[in-house]
């Protein structure tokens, strides 16, 4: 049965990362969009896209999995959060936002469909209590990340993160670590490439700090 299921699973690859630092959170993602052939698993490059999306003015999310599922889910989540804030006249907390996304993923995967909804998110943002990072898997599992996480094609990236991450990293050190993990993955995972986006999240501020499209130039980034 497992072999039969594996024949129909598309592993397109991507790389998204979240790194918790002492003064903020670093979110990073590559730009390559791929799809895979069902007959031989070969990856085909379909173009480039931004894989870090804004849910609202306080929350960002990376996307991995089926792009249409991920983008649709985040649009719905953004609308639901806005509606709740209008009704309650209060900002929705990060934990409430993550729980709402988790519930949606749980329901989506268990809704009968010819094409199951598969989407994986790293959600980072700030609220009145500070900053936080959450890992939300396609089955609805929710975990608050205290150190770092990588999704999509994380094996080479995790090797770098496991060896180089240390508690108390500054944001600048976190950015350099994300770039190093990205460099370790390109060339080894064909579904990862075409550049990298890096954002930082601090209390009251979300900022894009790197938007690098040309891989050859990215290799020269220190």
Give the model confidence (pLDDT) of 200-212 as tens digits.
Answer: 999 999 999 988 7
More confident call, 5 vs 49: 49
Burial string for 37-56 (b: 16+ CB within 10 Å, else e) reads eeeeeebeeeeebebbbebb
Compute the mean pLDDT over every residue in the chain, rounded to the nearest whole number: 83
For residue range 58-73, list pLDDT tens digits in order.
999 999 877 778 888 8
The catalytic residue among 12, 14, 151, 185 is: 14
193 confidence band (pLDDT: 50, 70, 90): confident
Candidate from 38-47, 113-122, 168-177, 187-196 with smallest mean pLDDT: 38-47
Question: What's the pLDDT tens digit per position in 118-177?
Answer: 788 999 999 999 999 999 988 888 999 999 999 887 788 899 999 999 999 999 999 999
- Predicted confidence band of residue 109 (pLDDT cuts 50, 70, 90): low
Residue 10's pLDDT is what?
A: 44
Percent of the residues in the chain that have a pLDDT greater than 70, as a whole number: 78
This prediction's pTM = 0.83
Residues 31-54 have a mean pLDDT of 68
Catalytic annotation present for 14: yes
Give all domains of the chain, ordered by start, each with its CATH number: 21-213 (3.60.20.10)
Sign, CA torsion 64/150/95/126: negative
């Amino acid at each position: 049965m497992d072999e039969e299921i594996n024949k129909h699973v598309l592993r397109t690859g991507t790389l998204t990362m979240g790194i918790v630092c002492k003064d903020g959170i670093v979110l990073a993602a590559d730009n390559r969009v791929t799809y895979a052939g069902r007959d031989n698993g070969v990856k085909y490059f379909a173009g480039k896209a931004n894989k870090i999306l804004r849910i609202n003015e306080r929350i960002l999310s990376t996307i991995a999995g089926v792009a249409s599922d991920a983008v649709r889910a985040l649009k719905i989540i953004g609308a639901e959060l806005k509606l709740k804030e209008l009704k309650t006249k209060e900002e929705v907390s990060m934990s409430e936002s993550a729980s709402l996304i988790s519930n949606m993923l749980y329901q989506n995967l268990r809704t009968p469909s010819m094409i199951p909804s598969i989407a994986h998110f790293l959600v980072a943002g700030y609220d009145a209590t500070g900053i936080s990072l959450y890992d939300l898997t396609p089955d609805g599992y929710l975990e608050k990340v205290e150190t770092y996480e990588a999704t999509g094609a994380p094996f080479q990236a995790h090797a770098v993160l496991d060896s180089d991450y240390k508690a108390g990293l500054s944001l600048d050190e976190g950015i350099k670590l994300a770039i190093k993990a990205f460099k370790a993955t390109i060339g080894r995972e064909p579904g990862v490439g075409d550049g990298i986006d890096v954002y930082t999240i601090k209390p009251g501020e979300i900022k894009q700090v790197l938007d690098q499209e040309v891989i050859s130039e990215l290799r020269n980034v220190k």
